Structure 1
Amino acid sequence: MKRAAFGLGILLASANAWAVTPGVPWDYSGKSGPEHWAKLTPEFSACAGKNQTPVDLTGFVEAELKPLALSYTAGASKVVNLGHTVQVVYEPGSHLTLDGKDYALLQFHFHMPSENHIKGQSYPLEGHLVHADEQGNLAVIALMFKAGDHNPVLAQLWEKPPKTGQTQPISPVANARDLLPENLDYYRFSGSLTTPPCTEGVRWLVLKEPLVASDEQIKALTDAVGHANNRPLQPLNSRVVLQ
């Protein structure tokens, strides 16, 4: 029981705060960049695995995917700049039901430009809604954003994203469901966390319908992080992408 709880703690720390092994810095470029992650420490060895994310979603296999079952309440309470991403902390009480299990919504965060591609297309912004079940298994809903009109839901989360290391409240507390499109059709594949420790076995659900954010909103997020924060595409290998 203690071992299970310990394992869950590690997974939730990775998912909820993008925590890494103390004293082992990583980055998106240079000697600590993605091509070196797996060699920085044994704890990051999964970064060289065969089922890594992000991928270019292509070669789809038709499947009877069940509609996404979301039970979200208002829980987006604060936003924090972790240096590698801007993350919205979500209070307990919201979940995704998938494969007969409930996955609690822990947080969502952003990558500029998108990490995953769809049929070879990259997007200027991608959001990841990270969920975990009681055993620490992870499920991520990915949202693509194209440049266009001002997004009022992003504007509700912040007037301006916080700077690195800063946290600011969200008032009133927001509901992540408001960020999603009406059409929840999705692609599904098995992958990993896209940052160290690159834990595999993550259930990825990529929404087909892109959202819209303004150039100013996308730039503000990129400026807040200070650089692009997308991991390069990883080989799909023998995996299939269901639709």
Structure 2
Amino acid sequence: MKKLGYLFLAMFSSLMLAACAEQKSEEKEVITTSTNQNDWSYEESTGPERWGELDPSNLTCVNGSEQSPINVEFPEVKADGKSKGESEIHYESTPFTLENNGHTIQANATTESNHIIIENNEYKLSQFHFHTPSEHQFNGQNYDMELHLVHSDENGKLAVIGLMIQEGNENKLLASMWNGLPTDKAVKGDSEKHVIDLQALLPENETTFQYSGSLTTPPCTEEVQWIIFEQPIEMSKAQIKAFQQIFSDNHRPVQPINEREINKNED
């Protein structure tokens, strides 16, 4: 009888241990899922202050020394003319497809003809997207929005052109794109290709600020070459509102400069 009791107790203990192990496994799976790279956002619980906690690959967001965006204080900018970090922009009218990736509206290049050259190295445009309010600041002030044109070279190195956007006249160059803004991230955007003349979109004044920074979204990769135009472009109040109805706030706060140089290149 005692043997049966011991046998029952052993079987019961084994079942309990298996149940505990299964529960721990489920808990581990939940933790892994909850910290998925796609779970970052601009909300408080998974926003910019928490990006480094969400995934080990995001540690640069908190430990990096050359993070973006930054505040550009005009009196502290180094005027270099074209002697350092010389760049050339080669844009033309080309088609793009749109998508809502859950963090912004992104226009994806369908050709490789748009490119820039920085210090004799070519970077091809892969996509451009928008933030509101602007991520970079000029003298401590944000603009209504900011446009980022993201490029990469043959080795995967990145270069981004930033355009400040202020409320003003309707931007006719982006009008067709704005009429087709995908409001739901479950919808990858229409198959229609929106032809946009990026060269015409650039400001008339070609003065730029250049510095070494990072991506402004996880994983916050550094060694990104930034070129930010001083003169903003314009969008109408209705155009800005249309974007903000989809993304009310999708900007990362400014990061420490850490004694980096900001060079001003004037045409």
What range describes the TM-score normalised by the shorter chain of this pair? 0.7 to 0.9
Partner letter of residue 143 of structure 1? L
Match of 1:43 among 57, 64, 68: 57
The normalised TM-score by structure 2 is 0.79
1:190 equivalenced with 2:212 (yes/no): yes
Structure 2 Cα separation of the partners of residues 221 and 76 of structure 1:
21
Instruction: Report SS of the residue matched to 1:212.
Output: strand
1:78 equivalenced with 2:93 (yes/no): no
1:229 equivalenced with 2:257 (yes/no): no
Structure 2 Cα separation of the partners of residues 98 and 143 of structure 1:
17
Structure 2 Cα separation of the partners of residues 201 and 171 of structure 1:
32
Instruction: Report SS of the residue matched to 1:168.
Output: coil
When the two chains are superposed, the root-mean-square deviation of aligned CA atoms in Å is 1.8
Deviation at 1:169, TM superposition (A): 4.3
Structure 2 Cα separation of the partners of residues 89 and 96 of structure 1:
16
Instruction: Report SS of the residue matched to 2:102.
Output: coil
Counterpart position of 2:77: 60
Judge conservation of contact 2:133–2:249 (CA < 8 Å) in 1.
yes
Instruction: Report SS of the residue matched to 1:32.
Output: coil
Q: Which has the higher helix share?
A: 2
Judge conservation of contact 2:71–2:139 (CA < 8 Å) in 1.
yes
Partner letter of residue 73 of structure 1? E
Counterpart position of 2:48: 34
Structure 2 Cα separation of the partners of residues 203 and 76 of structure 1:
25
Deviation at 1:38, TM superposition (A): 1.1
Counterpart position of 1:12: none
- Superposed, 1:1-243 pairs within 5 Å as 23-24=36-37, 25-48=39-62, 49-58=64-73, 59-65=76-82, 68-91=87-110, 92-165=112-185, 166=187, 167-171=189-193, 173-225=195-247, 227-243=248-264
Structure 2 Cα separation of the partners of residues 76 and 138 of structure 1:
22
Judge conservation of contact 1:76–1:90 (CA < 8 Å) in 2.
yes
Deviation at 1:101, TM superposition (A): 0.6
Judge conservation of contact 2:178–2:239 (CA < 8 Å) in 1.
no
Deviation at 1:182, TM superposition (A): 2.2
- 4+ long deviations beyond 6 Å: none
| Structure 2 residues not aligned, in runs of 5+ | 1-34
Deviations 1:140-194 (A, max 9, x none): 0000011111111120323141112221245552222121112221001111000
In structure 2, the CA distance between the partners of 1:168 and 1:184, relative to structure 1 (3 Å rule), is: farther
Deviation at 1:68, TM superposition (A): 3.9
Bigger RCO of structures 1 and 2 (CA < 8 A, at least 6 apart): 1
Computing the radius of gyration from Cα coordinates, the structure with the larger value is 2
Instruction: Report SS of the residue matched to 2:209.
Output: strand
Structure 2 Cα separation of the partners of residues 169 and 177 of structure 1:
24
Which 10-residue stretch deviates more, 169-178 or 94-103? 169-178
Partner letter of residue 23 of structure 1? N
Structure 2 Cα separation of the partners of residues 116 and 129 of structure 1:
14
In structure 2, the CA distance between the partners of 1:181 and 1:170, relative to structure 1 (3 Å rule), is: farther
Judge conservation of contact 1:193–1:202 (CA < 8 Å) in 2.
yes
Deviation at 1:54, TM superposition (A): 0.6
